[in-house]
Amino acid sequence: MYGNRLEHTLFIICEADSMEQLDAAFDPILEMGQYTINPVMERK
């Protein structure tokens, strides 16, 4: 987890098999504010 306190920004880097898993994990907090989720895929 990385943070930028001056911009009130928090970066969470996590790994999951699907976007649905991430959605389920973060569902409890998604209604508490504004979030941007940027999926990143590993190049093979």
Whether 30 and 24 have beta carbons less than 8 Å apart is answered as no
Judged by DSSP in three states, 22 sits in helix
- Report the pLDDT value the prediction gives residue 1, as an integer from 0 to 100: 66
Over residues 18-44, the pLDDT tens digits come to 888 988 888 888 788 788 878 787 787
pTM equals 0.52
Q: Bin 2: left if φ > 0, else alpha if -120 < ψ < 50, else beta.
A: beta
- Report the pLDDT value the prediction gives residue 31, as an integer from 0 to 100: 81
Give mean pLDDT, residues 7-25. 84
